[in-house]
Structure 1
C-alpha cells in the first residue's frame, strides 16, 4: 500500500505539477512510517519511529493544508489527495495497532500464549498505561455455565443462590412457556 501511495506521489508530480519539495517531504514521511514495520504489530509507543511518525503526520497535514489554502482546487480533489496521500498509511497503522492481537488469525493457536502479556494489551490500554492512568476491569464478572440453560428456565424448582424475585420471575416465565406449548 505504501508503494502505491508513493507511486501516486510520483504521478502527481509529473501530471499535476504539485510542488516537488512538498511531495519529497511526503515521501520522506512515508519512509519514516515504514520504519514501524520492523517490529509490527508490536510497536513501542515510546520508540523513535513511532514518535516521529506521530509528529510527521501532523506536519505533512499542515504543509499540504497551507498549500491548498494558497492554491485553490476543487474540494473533491483536495479531499482525495488528503485521503490517499496524507492520511491513508498513518490511519491504517493506527487502526491495525488497535486491533486485538488475539483476534488475528494464527497458524498455531498456542502461539498467542507465547506473546508476553505486556504486548497483548491494545493500543488504548498501552497509551493509558504510559500516561499513568489505570484501566478499569470489566464491571460484570463472567462465569462458566455448565448446565443447559433451556432446562434451567423450564424447571419449577428455584436454583440455589437466586433471589426470590428472580425465582418468581423465572418460575412465572417457565409456566407461561409451558402453557403456550400446551395451547
Structure 2
C-alpha cells in the first residue's frame, strides 16, 4: 500500500491542526470568561487549591504516597496560592510567579520519576511473565493524578492571570486636545488588561498573519 499511508499522514496533520485550533479557542474563551467574572474565578481557584492540598494529604495518609513528595506538592500549591493576592494581575518578574514556574517543572519531574520507579520495581518482582503486579497504579490513575494534582492549578492560573495592570488615565497619558473622538473612556479601554493565555493566542495569530502577508496571502477583507 502506498496511498493509504499518505492519507493517514494527511489525516494526522489535519487532526492536529483542528486540535490546536480547538485548544486555542478554549483558552481564549476561558480567558474572556475570567475577565467577565473575576471575583468568582478568584474564589473558585482559591478553593480549588485548598481542595488539591487536602487531596494530596489524604493520598499520603491512605494510599501511602511518599511523604517528602507530598510535602513538596502541598508547598507548591501554597506558593501558587500566593499568586492570588493580586488576582488577576501578576508581574512576570514577581519572585512568587517565577517560583511557581520552577515548581511546576520540579513537581512534574519528581512525580514522573516516582511512578516510573514504582512500576519498574513491581515488574522486577514478578515471578512469572503472566503475573499481574499488585498495588501498581494504572496509566489512567497516573494521568489523572498529574492532571488534577500537578497541572490543573498552574494551567488555571496561566489562563486566569493577566500580565499587565489596569492603568487609569492620568495627566501624563491624557490624549492631546487636538485628537477628535478620543476621551477618557477610550484611554481606559486601550489600557485594559489582557490575560496571558489570550495575549499568547493573539500573538500567535498576529505572527501567522504577518507570515501570510510576507508570503503574499491576503485576507478577504484586504482584497476589497
Q: TM-score, normalised by structure 1?
A: 0.57
Name structure 1 gaps, 5 residues minimum. 103-109, 128-132, 140-165, 167-183
Deviating 4+ runs (over 2 angstroms)? 110-116, 124-127
Q: Distance in 1 between matches of 2:83 and 2:145?
A: 23
Of the candidates 153, 165, 170, which is equivalent to residue 89 of structure 1?
A: 153
Q: Which has the higher helix share?
A: 2
Q: Distance in 2 between matches of 1:93 and 1:28?
A: 16
Name structure 2 gaps, 5 residues minimum. 1-47, 120-136, 167-183, 210-223
Of the candidates 129, 139, 150, which is equivalent to residue 75 of structure 1?
A: 139
Question: Greater Rg, structure 1 or structure 2?
Answer: 1
Q: Distance in 1 between matches of 2:87 and 2:185?
A: 16
Q: From the superposition, tell whether residues 68 and 123 of structure 1 become closer, same or farther in structure 2 (CA, over 3 Å).
A: same
Deviation at 1:95, TM superposition (A): 1.3
Partner of 2:90: 43
Q: How many residues align?
A: 124
Deviation at 1:121, TM superposition (A): 3.5
Q: Taking CA–CA contacts closer than 8 Å with sequence separation of 6 or more, which of the two structures ends up with the larger relative contact order?
A: 2
Q: Does 1:123 align with 2:177?
A: no
Q: Distance in 2 between matches of 1:55 and 1:62?
A: 11
User: What's the C-alpha RMSD, in Å, of the aligned pairs?
Assistant: 3.5
